[in-house]
Amino acid sequence: MVDSRRVPVGIVGASGYGGVQLVRLLIDHPDVEIVYMGGDSTAGKAFGDIYPHLGHAVSLKVEAVDPVAIQQRCEIVFLSVPNGLACQLAPQLVANGCKVLDLSADYRFSNLSTYTTWYGKERTDNETAASSVYGLPELYRERIAEAQLVGCPGCYPTASLLALSPLLKQGLIVPETAIIDAKSGTSGGGREAKIGMLLAEADNSIAAYNVARHRHTPEIEQICSELAGHEVTVQFTPHLIPMVRGILSTVYATLRDPGLVRDDLITIYRAFYRNSPWVRVCDGGIFPQTKWACGSNLCYIGIEVDTRTRRVIVMSAIDNLIKGQAGQAVQCMNLMMGWDETLGLPKLGFYP
Amino acid sequence: MVDSRRVPVGIVGASGYGGVQLVRLLIDHPDVEIVYMGGDSTAGKAFGDIYPHLGHAVSLKVEAVDPVAIQQRCEIVFLSVPNGLACQLAPQLVANGCKVLDLSADYRFSNLSTYTTWYGKERTDNETAASSVYGLPELYRERIAEAQLVGCPGCYPTASLLALSPLLKQGLIVPETAIIDAKSGTSGGGREAKIGMLLAEADNSIAAYNVARHRHTPEIEQICSELAGHEVTVQFTPHLIPMVRGILSTVYATLRDPGLVRDDLITIYRAFYRNSPWVRVCDGGIFPQTKWACGSNLCYIGIEVDTRTRRVIVMSAIDNLIKGQAGQAVQCMNLMMGWDETLGLPKLGFYP
Amino acid sequence: MVDSRRVPVGIVGASGYGGVQLVRLLIDHPDVEIVYMGGDSTAGKAFGDIYPHLGHAVSLKVEAVDPVAIQQRCEIVFLSVPNGLACQLAPQLVANGCKVLDLSADYRFSNLSTYTTWYGKERTDNETAASSVYGLPELYRERIAEAQLVGCPGCYPTASLLALSPLLKQGLIVPETAIIDAKSGTSGGGREAKIGMLLAEADNSIAAYNVARHRHTPEIEQICSELAGHEVTVQFTPHLIPMVRGILSTVYATLRDPGLVRDDLITIYRAFYRNSPWVRVCDGGIFPQTKWACGSNLCYIGIEVDTRTRRVIVMSAIDNLIKGQAGQAVQCMNLMMGWDETLGLPKLGFYP
Amino acid sequence: MVDSRRVPVGIVGASGYGGVQLVRLLIDHPDVEIVYMGGDSTAGKAFGDIYPHLGHAVSLKVEAVDPVAIQQRCEIVFLSVPNGLACQLAPQLVANGCKVLDLSADYRFSNLSTYTTWYGKERTDNETAASSVYGLPELYRERIAEAQLVGCPGCYPTASLLALSPLLKQGLIVPETAIIDAKSGTSGGGREAKIGMLLAEADNSIAAYNVARHRHTPEIEQICSELAGHEVTVQFTPHLIPMVRGILSTVYATLRDPGLVRDDLITIYRAFYRNSPWVRVCDGGIFPQTKWACGSNLCYIGIEVDTRTRRVIVMSAIDNLIKGQAGQAVQCMNLMMGWDETLGLPKLGFYP
């Protein structure tokens, strides 16, 4: 039975890693109740058949994806589906009054032609897309609070933009010198059976992939350009790391003012994130470990200045499935509902 | 009993990771025989007490370090000792006719004041140091062949220089744009009990360390400067990866000629390494995994050009304990003895 | 400032893995507040100096261990110190009215001579020891609720006893056939710098240790004997697994009644644990993964009967640092305080 | 061009883990040359397309599986194909004079009805099957030397039988008390895309699987029965360990003679394996780590006696892909060809 004091929420695509994180976080959230779980490939199954360890905590069955049923039962809907599917569901859900949080790439781009170029799909939902807000609360808190549709950022863009934003916003770096060398655990690849993601293949190894052509590049550039006030091109290289969770972005950029020292930048970052409870700027000489963030919605940022090269090096660490995905979506939901943005989210990593 | 057809070699510092790799490689080498193993902290122990799995293969005891005994029994000596100790042993060994391969930092620098600045130790062995050759065979094959003392490169410099050298030698990049984002397995930290290297700490985590101040920086810059023909400063950032072995260096640099495409660079690299049996340049679109190299003396190099940013991205993968340490020392020994540089070294990784 | 609605608690030994888990769990607990953190080796340090990622959440400094200060400020005290130290602190704390939860082995034994035999230390605190209760709530819920001093079980005994208890209590097996083959992540070894626990050593390897002589053996046997009503000897073999957290105990025993089938046993186990919210008995054919439990206070139990051999095989999976250590201590505290035993404890693992 | 001094060998199923190990080992073998690589799913591909890191070392293309072509070109054939396929190829190859080493389960059983019961496939090649020899050289060295067809053991049976054989052969234990608790790295599952084998799923977790019904059980029991001289039933439980390579079998059994001590058993084991160069019996108190064996064809055995329980505990560690699969096949080939059984096989693990 639905608890009438709790807001009814639905999850489309509950069986993937994004979905199971959402399930976990929303069960622990004090003000919502999961009333619908949808997924075409797993329709009809109990959630406990997919994740046996959650069978005792989730009694819902996965249902076929039916927008009419969703909008009748849910006030809030999370879309945790492959790119290109959310844009087939969101317009109707939005039109019928649902608040929608899309975890795919479909509603991240203000310019749909960028989406079509990088994702290879034509779009016709221009009006819906135009209404969506990019779900990075640290930059767009106010707009998210008023949005009905949020396009939640990718995991790499979340880590990378939190590292880069203060520098670009304050004009501290030469934008075109920005290089992002990012490292991710393999859960970022999703719960799909792929040979390259087998433990026997991916463990005890590291490699770059999609060098110079990863789809998160235009997403990062869109926000960087907005912050810089002009078109910015960045270098972005993702690497696969032999670990389950976590992203570290190591960002390099040349400082405009060679007189800036590390402590100046720490001060600037702390001011920039003063009202952002999920960002922690480390003391000088401390460089964040992804493990610190794992299990929490936190982003840890470390800063160094190399006076020999005039570069700033910024490292940001997040849990790719929490702050990089499901946790950030819940943070956005909190804002959309007028709740405290920390509500129901894990505040401390499960170290070690 | 010593096999008279085999050259007698000694290892000082046989109990660390570099030492145990040397032991393993030299046992399999057809033309040498280990006749001496030294180490002050483990003196008196059988090697099988330190590494029980090798007890059946190594009957030698570890002896106290006595230069007179070493030079009487050994034609070749590997020094696998902490920085600052090799320079106390090498002068006498060299003076008495031994061929010496130092795996520490002591004989890597042509300018000893650079060593003193970064390693904090005054040196008085200028003459010996001046006679040493930097043991990166792909660059200094001929000089190594004639050397009596070789300062073997660090693990990061090996991977990084093999990635950068063709670009610098041919003048293809703007040198000061070079950024090296390097990732290493934890065995690079040696066999010392440190909390940060515990599995419980280092597993499922990644972080940068010694940002803007790692001691391998001047070593890389020394060789880059020599290749470029002028003083070069590079950005070097090491990261600790939750895996045992392997280094990946991801190198970024701005191309002088924006017309160069990936295939041009692959051609240039293959020509540069034509006579280097231990370097493999991947086909276009293939990015090396450290696992490919693990267990072998190979370095795999992958190359990409980003036409949007005019940068070249070069990735090099090695086994940090083989090509990055003990294997490279054996490769140098082969050259010093006039043998084929592949002699006795593992040619294929133990994938997966 | 202390929140007057919250019970003041102290942690002695806050810098180890048990300590940092306690800190994390107690911060999230709604009815307590950490007011004291003690540790002689780290006295004077801010907790954020030891665990930088928690600096923003914990403002307390670690203090020298002073029983007088502790009992003045704390109503509840957790002792997370090495074996042999708790018994020097507990008598005074108990005498002065504190509720004490000891995570070491000191108060687990009803017979102190067993302790002395296995831990090599004479004891004089017989009276205090006699008042202590073994802190496994699933067996001793009522006694814990009335105790002032609880000796919290070891990680292996927790997993092993939850697997074995229903069989012994109901007389279903031949007790002396019980064999426990246990597997633990390396965090069970604590946050001490030991070469064998280095990632480079422990990763990608597995081995048994302390075969036939691990100190958790008498602890398991004490409870098994109590359940069986006569002296029971068990075989216990611990193994080190290349992972951070988690214990799996695989328990073998010969059934007295060859007619019992798997479903019978599942029914018996579910009845046995009907009022135990932290134990989940899997459906037939489902075998628990430690990952399911990691990050939560849950124990998952899977059961199989081999009709060919007349043996039952029971597998139990826990997070060694939560249900196997800090979480169980908090569960005991809840009972001692008359609170719901699930209060403030994580209910769902952070899968994957 | 084929080196006329080398024996031409073929590999059917070269693209799996067994295959790639065979390729690696046979390339390094001094007396054979790979002249054929077959595989229906990868036919037409260069081996370097499947394993880019081996492209420089293997110039052969994978060909469709054609028995006529194989027997014309190969003197020795390794079948590294799924269960149920080898029995369709072997009869013809054997009839045409090839020496055949099958790595699947097809030729491991002297009684084909056991095969049919456990593998669900009817067989008609009784005559061929009757001629096959079980390829565990430590037990059947002489018969392998004279065989034309060898059914190579499974990975678990190899480790388990090497631990159990001396006990059974000498009648030292009560056979029905034998319990094998085995732990394997995930490469044992092969190079197939399965969700449970993804790094994100399998890392940092451990679980048992196929409890009381794993197909390696009858294989182990067949040999145990032969050694004991009567029908023996054993308990066998496999576990999946978060590591790439390695198997540890922990074997429990009750001693017939309670007076036997550990040193007696070590002496017995060393005598039993006196002529087995690939088995190493550890000194008392030393328990083998799988890492010691990884990369080599060695099996390390550790022995303990628990005088409290009258049980012997034997631990055996192997590399599941070498001694447990491809290396053992090469060892058998050496015997079949009259060569030294150590020829061309790696003697030392690549520790750490």
Nearest CA in chain B to D187: B352
**Mutant choice from C204, C214, C249, C314 vs D, greatest count of D C-beta within 10 A:** C204
CA distance to partner chain C, nearest, from residue B207 (Å): 13
Rounded Cα distance between D211 and D227, Å, is 24
Looking at residue A3, its pLDDT comes to 60
Rounded Cα distance between D60 and D1, Å, is 11
Query: Given a contact as 3+ CB pairs under 8 Å, which chains touch D?
Result: A, B, C
CA dist list (Å): B105 to B132, B219, C339:
12, 9, 61
Across chain C, mean pLDDT equals: 96
Cβ–Cβ below 8 Å for B349 and D203? no
Is residue C1 scored above 60 in pLDDT? no
DSSP assignment of A285-319 equals T----HHHHTTSS-EEEEEEEETTTTEEEEEEEE-
Looking at residue C5, its pLDDT comes to 84
pTM over 0.95: yes
The verdict on whether omega for the bond into residue C352 sits within 30 degrees of 0, i.e. cis, is yes
Cβ–Cβ below 8 Å for C53 and A293? yes
Q: Taking CB atoms and an 8 Å cut-off, how many pairs form between chains A and C?
A: 78
SS3 label, residue A99 = strand
Read off the DSSP letter of residue C63: B
Cβ–Cβ below 8 Å for A352 and B200? yes
Under 8 Å between Cβ of B347 and B298: yes
Looking at residue C3, its pLDDT comes to 60
Structure tokens of C98? Answer: 């504190």
Rounded Cα distance between A104 and A124, Å, is 17
A86-133, pLDDT tens digit by residue?
Answer: 999 999 999 999 999 999 999 999 999 999 999 999 999 999 999 999
**Which sign, positive or negative, has the C-alpha torsion D60, D64, D69, D75?**
positive
Under 8 Å between Cβ of A248 and A141: no
Torsion of CA A324, A325, A327, A332, to 10 degrees: 100
D205-248, pLDDT tens digit by residue?
Answer: 999 999 999 999 999 999 999 999 999 999 999 999 999 999 99
First to last CA, chain C: 38
Cβ–Cβ below 8 Å for D242 and C243? yes
Structure tokens of B4? Answer: 């008279």
Domain ranges of chain D: 7-131, 156-320
Cβ–Cβ below 8 Å for D292 and B52? yes
Is residue C350 scored above 90 in pLDDT? no
D82-106, pLDDT tens digit by residue?
Answer: 999 999 999 999 999 999 999 999 9
Taking alpha carbons only, the member of A83, A108, A298 closest to residue A220 is: A108
Nearest CA in chain D to C203: D243
Under 8 Å between Cβ of A153 and A344: no
CB-nearest partner of A352 from C244, C293, C349: C244
- pLDDT one digit per residue (tens) for chain B, 352 residues: 456 689 999 999 999 999 999 999 999 999 999 999 999 889 999 999 999 999 999 999 999 999 999 999 999 999 999 999 999 999 999 999 999 999 999 999 999 999 999 999 999 999 999 999 999 999 999 999 999 999 999 999 999 999 999 999 999 999 999 999 999 999 999 999 999 999 999 999 999 999 999 999 999 999 999 999 999 999 999 999 999 999 999 999 999 998 999 999 999 999 999 999 999 999 999 999 999 999 999 999 999 999 999 999 999 999 999 999 999 999 999 999 999 999 999 999 989 9
Instruction: Write out chain A residues lying below 8 Å of B317, CB-based.
Output: 207
CA distance to partner chain A, nearest, from residue C58 (Å): 11
Q: Which long-range contacts (CB under 8 A, 24 or more apart) does A271-275 make?
A: A272/A165, A272/A166, A272/A169, A272/A170, A273/A138, A273/A166, A273/A301, A275/A141
Is residue C264 scored above 80 in pLDDT? yes
DSSP assignment of C208-269 equals E-STTT-THHHHHHHHHHHHHTS----EEEEEE-SSSS-EEEEEEEEBS-TT--HHHHHHHH
Rounded Cα distance between A252 and B179, Å, is 8
Across chain D, mean pLDDT equals: 96
Nearest CA in chain A to B303: A211
Looking at residue A161, its pLDDT comes to 98
Nearest CA in chain B to D295: B350
Instruction: Write out chain D residues lying below 8 Å of B298, CB-based.
Output: 53
**Residue ranges, chain A, pLDDT below 50:** 1
Looking at residue B350, its pLDDT comes to 87
Looking at residue B69, its pLDDT comes to 95
Chain A interface residues (partner C, CB cutoff 8 A): 17, 20, 24, 27-28, 51-57, 187, 191, 203-204, 244-245, 280, 282-283, 286, 288-289, 292-295, 298, 300, 321, 347-352
CB-nearest partner of A244 from D191, D197, D200: D200
Pick the catalytic residue from A87, A152, A155, A224: A155
Cβ–Cβ below 8 Å for D309 and C243? no
CA distance to partner chain B, nearest, from residue D281 (Å): 10
**Mutant choice from B117, B203, B211, B266 vs A, greatest count of A C-beta within 10 A:** B211
Cβ–Cβ below 8 Å for A288 and C54? no
Under 8 Å between Cβ of A37 and A47: yes
Cβ–Cβ below 8 Å for B204 and A317? no
**Mutant choice from B192, B199, B320 vs C, greatest count of C C-beta within 10 A:** B199
Structure tokens of B336? Answer: 């010093």
CB-nearest partner of A203 from D192, D201, D203: D203
CA distance to partner chain B, nearest, from residue A99 (Å): 35
Burial degree of A262 (CB within 10 A; 0-12, 13-18, 19+): middle
Looking at residue D147, its pLDDT comes to 98
Cβ–Cβ below 8 Å for B289 and A206? yes
CB-nearest partner of A243 from B176, B242, B313: B242
Strand order across the beta sheet in which D76-79 lies: D62-63, D32-38, D7-12, D76-79, D99-102, D149-151, D133-134
Cβ–Cβ below 8 Å for D241 and C237? no
D244-300, pLDDT tens digit by residue?
Answer: 999 999 999 999 998 999 999 999 999 999 999 999 999 999 999 999 999 999 999
- pLDDT category, D3, cuts 50, 70, 90? low
Q: Return the active site residues of D.
A: 155
Chain B interface residues (partner D, CB cutoff 8 A): 17, 20, 24, 27-28, 51-54, 56-57, 187, 191, 203-204, 244-245, 280, 282-283, 286, 288-289, 292-295, 298, 300, 347-352
Cβ–Cβ below 8 Å for C206 and D313? no
CB-nearest partner of A349 from C28, C53, C286: C53
Domain at C156-323, CATH from 3.40.50.1220, 3.40.50.300, 3.30.300.170, 3.30.360.10: 3.30.360.10
- pLDDT category, D350, cuts 50, 70, 90? confident
Nearest CA in chain A to C58: A348
**Which sign, positive or negative, has the C-alpha torsion B32, B36, B37, B38?**
negative
- CATH entry 3.40.50.720 includes domain D7-131: yes
B94-129, pLDDT tens digit by residue?
Answer: 999 999 999 999 999 999 999 999 999 999 999 999
Indicate the fold that domain D156-320 takes in CATH. Dihydrodipicolinate Reductase; domain 2 (3.30.360)
SS3 label, residue C318 = strand
Cβ–Cβ below 8 Å for A208 and B291? no
Q: Taking CB atoms and an 8 Å cut-off, how many pairs form between chains B and C?
A: 64
C173-205, pLDDT tens digit by residue?
Answer: 999 999 999 999 999 999 999 999 999 999 999
Nearest CA in chain B to A302: B208
CB-nearest partner of C198 from B198, B242, B243: B198
Cβ–Cβ below 8 Å for D233 and C309? yes
CB-nearest partner of B280 from D56, D282, D294: D56
Query: Given a contact as 3+ CB pairs under 8 Å, which chains touch C?
Result: A, B, D
Pick the catalytic residue from C152, C155, C299, C332: C155
- What are φ and ψ of residue C79, in 5° steps? -105, 110
Under 8 Å between Cβ of A186 and A161: no
Tell me the mean pLDDT in the region C75-86. 96
Q: Return the active site residues of B.
A: 155
Under 8 Å between Cβ of A194 and A145: no
C162-174, pLDDT tens digit by residue?
Answer: 999 999 999 999 9
> Same CATH topology for D7-131 and D156-320?
no
Q: What angle do CA A296, A302, A303 make, to 5 degrees?
A: 160
